[in-house]
Amino acid sequence: MKVTVSLTHQQQQVLAGLAERYDPPLSLEQLVSLAFTEYCDDHPEACGEEPGAGR
């Protein structure tokens, strides 16, 4: 699914610096998608899942 996320200029700067540290570098959109996935992997209960589900 596609979601529209609004980010300030300074938020973009923080994410741009982080995205460059990946090999290969990620686009900002890829980084946000990765962050969401990893956040829910880290906190399955917060994301309405049992631990281990949805992977």
Partner 1 sequence: MPAADHVIAPGTGLALPVRRGQVLRIEQIRGGQGVDVNVFAMADHRERFGASRTRAMHGLSIGAGDALWSASPRDRPLMTIVADSAGLRHDVTHPACSAFEYEFASGVAHHTSCAEIQAEAIRAWRLTPDDVHDPLNLWLESGAEGGELWWRAARTRPGDHVELLAHTGVLVSLNPCGDDLFGSSCFEVAPVRASLRPAGEDERSRWLLPERPALVSQQTTRQLRGRPIPVERKLRRDPAYRPRFATAPLRSRPFQIELPPPARARIDGLRAWGTFGSSDGEIVRAALWRWWQERHARADPSGYPWK
The residues binding partner 1 (CB under 8 A) are 1-12, 14, 18, 28-29, 32-33, 35-40, 42, 46-49, 54
SS3 32: helix
Q: What is the nearest approach in angstroms of partner 1 to the Cβ of residue 41?
A: 10
Rounded Cα gap, residues 22 and 11, in angstroms: 18
Minimum CB distance to partner 1, residue 23 (Å)? 16
- Nearest CB to partner 1, comparing residues 25 and 54: 54
Mention every residue, 6+ apart, whose C-beta is less than 8 A from residue 12.
28
